[in-house]
Structure 1
Amino acid sequence: MQDSAQRLLIIDDDDMFCHVLERAMQRRNFDVEVAHDGLQALELAGRHQPEIATLDLKLENESGLKILPELLSIVPDCRVVVLTGYSSIATAVEAIKLGAVNYLCKPVDADEVLAALAKTEGNPEAEVADNPPSINRLTWEHIQKVLQEHDGNISATARALGMHRRTLQRKLQKRPVRR
């Protein structure tokens, strides 16, 4: 690795995804470190001082949203892209409010991550959808918003939504509904 290689921290609990992204970014001359949980990520961030990072929204036992402010307190100039297979408007908004520069839905590849990191301004020409989201998608978004309001607490969210905790858990295990 050259001294000029940008330092990247990949934070994700999916070993295969990490391996593929790590190799792709190394081929693009990045100095890559990988963390599989928040504690490891923060420790590596302190040592490695990454200039950029990818952060999975839903790690095995924790939310990437809780790690994001801590990561940025250790490395304030780090540009972070939040990645998720469980996208929602509520989590996208929170990620940006907490300091992420972008939010991408998985699956993603290295080129998409780099494009998201390079994008520094919003696009006023962005296409606005012609048709509204489905009822199922709106339900998913509402559940995510209420879950976020209750700091990820499943029991409190189920009470707020007036549903059984196990029913909510089953709904959360499913992939997000398409628009």
Structure 2
Amino acid sequence: MMIDAPVGTGADPKTLLIVDDDKPFLQRIARAMESRGFLVETADSIADGMAKVDANPPQYAVVDMRLGDGNGLDVIELLRTRRPDSRAVVLTGYGNIATAVTAVKLGAIDYLSKPSDADDILRALTQGPADKAPPPDNPMSADRVRWEHIQRVYELCERNVSETARRLNMHRRTLQRILAKRAPR
């Protein structure tokens, strides 16, 4: 379905790839972004998303961090190599500072926690470099700071659970349980 391009983009439609394994969310966001002037393609796996990036790299992408078959950062990294001028946003229910930094290093322009609505996604995709996010209303709790530290060490250890557990002086199974849970508030 082709929709008129948003104002200021010329005659070319803005292409958008959305990669998420939550099908109701994927369909809802795809419809919402189509109504905002994007030509949308969807993928519900890393493999499908990477195939679509290989075939026709989009101008924009919205990629879930964790999918059933891998890490969404792989799609971001491939997109950045195939189309350096692309703008990608990472969505996640497992937000933390370490993965946000990794996402930005790999080429993402923003990192949003789920649930995010279409307006949040549109704002993230189209904001200029001078636009700054507002400061948080609530500071992180002590539990959240601990969780962030664990995530940072986990990323520094290239997602190796055994090495992370050794560096944190923690039992590996305890660490696995912590990593499987959502971030504390």
**TM-score, scaled relative to structure 2:** 0.85
SS at match of 1:83: strand
Cα RMSD (Å): 2.1
Mapping of 1:58-97 within 5 angstroms? 58-97=66-105
Displacement of 1:8 in angstroms is: 0.5
SS at match of 1:76: coil
Cα distance, 1:122–1:148 mapped onto 2, change above 3 Å: farther
The aligned amino acid for 1:154 is: V
Match of 2:148 in 1: 141
Cα distance, 1:126–1:24 mapped onto 2, change above 3 Å: closer
Q: Runs ≥4 in structure 1, deviation > 4 angstroms? A: 122-125
**TM-score, scaled relative to structure 1:** 0.87
The aligned amino acid for 1:58 is: R
State the Cα deviation string for residues 53-107 of structure 1 (Å, max 9, x = none).
Answer: 0011122232222332222111222100111111111111221122111111110
The whole-number CA distance in structure 2 between the counterparts of 1:28 and 1:154 is 42
The aligned amino acid for 2:14 is: Q
Structure 2 spans left out of the alignment, 5+ residues: 4-10
The whole-number CA distance in structure 2 between the counterparts of 1:125 and 1:24 is 23
The whole-number CA distance in structure 2 between the counterparts of 1:20 and 1:124 is 27
Displacement of 1:120 in angstroms is: 1.7
Match of 2:57 in 1: 49
Answer yes or no: is the 8 Å Cα contact 1:52–1:78 preserved in 2: yes
| Sequence identity (%) | 45
Structure 1 spans left out of the alignment, 5+ residues: none
State the Cα deviation string for residues 91-128 of structure 1 (Å, max 9, x = none).
Answer: 11221122111111110111110001111224568436
Cα distance, 1:122–1:170 mapped onto 2, change above 3 Å: farther
Answer yes or no: is the 8 Å Cα contact 1:80–1:117 preserved in 2: yes
Aligned pair 1:39/2:47, yes or no? yes
The whole-number CA distance in structure 2 between the counterparts of 1:116 and 1:124 is 10
SS at match of 1:144: helix
Match of 2:37 in 1: 29
The whole-number CA distance in structure 2 between the counterparts of 1:124 and 1:112 is 14
Q: How many residues align?
A: 177
The aligned amino acid for 1:46 is: D
